[in-house]
Every structure is written in C-alpha cells, then in structure tokens.
Amino acid sequence: GAGVSQTPSNKVTEKGKYVELRCDPISGHTALYWYRQSLGQGPEFLIYFQGTGAADDSGLPNDRFFAVRPEGSVSTLKIQRTERGDSAVYLCASSPSGGRGEKLFFGSGTQLSVL
C-alpha cells in the first residue's frame, strides 16, 4: 500500500473488554513497530517485529498486552481486560529492513478510549 494503514481509527470500549488493533505496513517492509502515545507525551515503545518474530517486546507494559505478526506483514495488537489507563493513541510504524537507524514510517494511529 501507499502508506502504513491502521484500523480502526477510533475504538471506544468498556473497562474489562478485549480489543484488537490492526496494522498493515508498507508493502515489503520487514520491520514493524508498535508505539503508544498519551496526550502531550512522546511515542512510547511497545514491541518491534522483524519478519514474523518479535525482536524486542521489552516495552509491553504487562501480560494483558500481546502482539502477533503471523505472516510477516499485517500485525495485530491485542489488549485483554482493558483498563482506563490503556486509553491512548496506538501508533504502528514500519521500516524496510529494521536495520539500525532506518527511518520509521508511521500510520495515523488508533485512538483507544476505555470508559
């Protein structure tokens, strides 16, 4: 595709529910990143995929958060038992090969609101 696509653009859910956020990277990009951005803050690293495998998941805040990328392209970020503190914009980014210092191409994000 022309750019990184994220769906949905907005998601409103109730506390305790399960949500899935989808990211479709730029075609051919092997590296995919998930970040979370709260209002007035910088993007906070969550997880980084190189192909199908998670190369670094050190940013996932707890075991309620999980991400997959089964075929090395589309990725899904899954959040179980959502809490109000999970409300934020979830940004996905991709880069051609994930090499050190490659620039990231960001999607427009999913605004998650947990009521």
Partner 1 sequence: GQQVMQIPQYQHVQEGEDFTTYCNSSTTLSNIQWYKQRPGGHPVFLIQLVKSGEVKKQKRLTFQFGEAKKNSSLHITATQTTDVGTYFCAGVTQGGSEKLVFGKGTKLTVNP
Binding stretches for partner 1 (CB under 8 A): 31, 33, 35, 40-45, 48, 55-56, 58-59, 91, 98-101, 103-109
Question: Could you tell me which residues are beta bridge partners of residue 20?
Answer: 78
Query: Shortest gap between Cβ of 26 and partner 1 (angstroms)?
Result: 13
Q: Which of 13/111 has CB closer to partner 1?
A: 111
Query: Cβ distance 90 to 9 under 8 Å?
Result: no
Query: Shortest gap between Cβ of 98 and partner 1 (angstroms)?
Result: 6
Phi-psi region of 84 (alpha: psi -120 to 50; beta: other; left: phi over 0): alpha
Query: Shortest gap between Cβ of 25 and partner 1 (angstroms)?
Result: 14
Query: Shortest gap between Cβ of 108 and partner 1 (angstroms)?
Result: 5
The number of residues in the chain equals 115
Q: In 3-state terms, what secondary structure has residue 84? A: helix
Q: Which of 16/99 has CB closer to partner 1?
A: 99
Q: Which of 20/57 has CB closer to partner 1?
A: 57
Q: Which of 19/91 has CB closer to partner 1?
A: 91
Closest residue by Cα to residue 88 from 112, 62, 61, 59: 112
CA distance 40 to 2: 28
